[in-house]
Amino acid sequence: VYEADYKPTNIADYLILNVRMPRSLTFCYRFLGEHLKFLADDYGERHACHATAEKIQALLNRGSIKDIFDHGLHEF
């Protein structure tokens, strides 16, 4: 993906936003959201964790690594 260009932004992008990397935050939150939905469907109720996961997933889906670095990686 980055052709051995080991810049901090590329590494962070890979670990945070890469949807094909199973350990990236975006990948994990996608599956977390799916499993929370399964639980909500089975038990017929949603909890605060559902809204929190959806909010974070939306942030990851629409964000860019530049936005994350501009805001502060630690704060993210």
Q: Is residue 67 part of a domain?
A: yes
- For residue range 5-56, list pLDDT tens digits in order: 789 899 999 999 999 999 999 999 999 999 999 999 999 999 999 999 999 9
Q: Is residue 1 part of a domain?
A: no
Look up the domain containing 36 and give its range: 8-71
Question: How many Cβ atoms sit within 10 Å of the Cβ of residue 9?
Answer: 15
Number of domains making up the chain:
1
**Residue listed under structure tokens 């990397």:** 21
Question: How many Cβ atoms sit within 10 Å of the Cβ of residue 60?
Answer: 20
Q: Is residue 58 part of a domain?
A: yes
Half-sphere exposure in the Cβ direction for 22 (13 Å, CA): 0
CA-based angle 21:28:33, to the nearest 5? Answer: 140
pTM: 0.81
